[in-house]
Amino acid sequence: MITVVPYNPIWKNMFEEEAPRIKAVLGENCIAVHHIGSTSVPGLAAKPIIDILPVVKDIMGVDAINEKMEAFGYEVKGEYGISFRRFFQKGNPVRTHHVHIFEDGSPEIERHLKFRDWMCAHPKDLEAYANLKQELAQKYPHDRMGYGLGKESFVAAINTKTGFDGLRVVKALLPREWEALRHFRQKYFFDKVPIADPCTWTFDHQDHVHFVLYKGETIVGYAHIQLWADARAALRIIVIEESYRLKGLGSQFLSLSEKWLKQNGVCSLHVQSSPEAHSFYLQHKYIEMPFNDPDGHESDPRDISIGKLL
């Protein structure tokens, strides 16, 4: 059940007790541990769950301490919907702590800290946020998705006020993310045919990953990746909104997608490149490589089969 309660000073003490324990479990990999979320903002009503953000040197190294976290009372959730994160939760049946671990340099760290610091410094926004959360808790007492979506616009507005402008890659989840990727697919690919998108069935298929690229709170790019057997994957689509092109975002998006695939055990990424995009991939060390589509789909005869070992 979603319960929002008045601010409790004990939340600060709960963080200060838990943080050094988590840092000890993470060992030398840990750089810092931050208190984030509503319980980190004095005076802000919140769900009584302590959100903790450790920063590590190597996110892949976190997987090696899963058993230690379990022994410490945490449930291991893995990436759990947010790319490049490791998530743990504590408390059953009453949740008490969430641990969100990110690698040093992740824009998610800056986003969380700026949101916290803004709320601490702006009482009117704090009051508005508290009222919103209490209203949503009454409206959606047993619906975490409804509660979360109800906060989305407010949180996005605050993130914009803080000046956060980082690049984030996330798997499509929110309604506006699905709306954006449909826009990208239709405008830049299927309007040119012209046909309706024939591959919407991939939106809820486990072997298809749909990424959106945020710059701050604006969705500026989209990528569709198909996961194959034998540690292979295909980059079906990658595109940047026209007004954001020629700023290096495509290169960064591609690199982040490759990094995510490598972290998830993919060894080679394959592309059927159009002649117009061929030079882009060559710049990123893609080479001639058989596509070998296991589904046997026909491609445009002009496409060039290339790939990269990750």
234 located within any domain: yes
> Residue 277: which domain range?
167-309
4 located within any domain: no
Number of domains in the chain: 2
2 located within any domain: no
- Note the pLDDT tens digit of each residue in 27-71: 999 999 999 999 999 999 999 999 999 999 999 999 999 999 999
pLDDT recorded at residue 297: 83
pLDDT recorded at residue 81: 84
Say if residue 105 is in the same domain as residue 247. no
CATH number of the domain that 281 lies in?
3.40.630.30
Q: Select from 144, 161, 178 the last residue of a domain.
A: 161
Say if residue 139 is in the same domain as residue 259. no
- Note the pLDDT tens digit of each residue in 226-282: 999 999 999 999 999 999 999 999 999 999 999 999 999 999 999 999 999 999 999
pLDDT recorded at residue 277: 95
Contacts for 102-109 with beta carbons within 8 Å, 24 or more apart? 102/53, 102/54, 102/55, 102/56, 102/59, 103/55, 103/56, 103/57, 103/58, 103/59, 104/31, 104/55, 104/56, 104/57, 107/164, 107/166, 107/167, 107/168, 108/82, 108/84, 108/168, 109/34, 109/53, 109/55
Contact 277, 302 (CB under 8 A): no
Share of the chain above pLDDT 70, in %: 100
Question: Taking residues 160-173, what's their average pLDDT?
Answer: 96
- Note the pLDDT tens digit of each residue in 84-128: 999 999 998 899 999 999 999 999 999 999 999 999 999 999 999
Q: Select from 109, 133, 161 the last residue of a domain.
A: 161
Contact 2, 79 (CB under 8 A): no
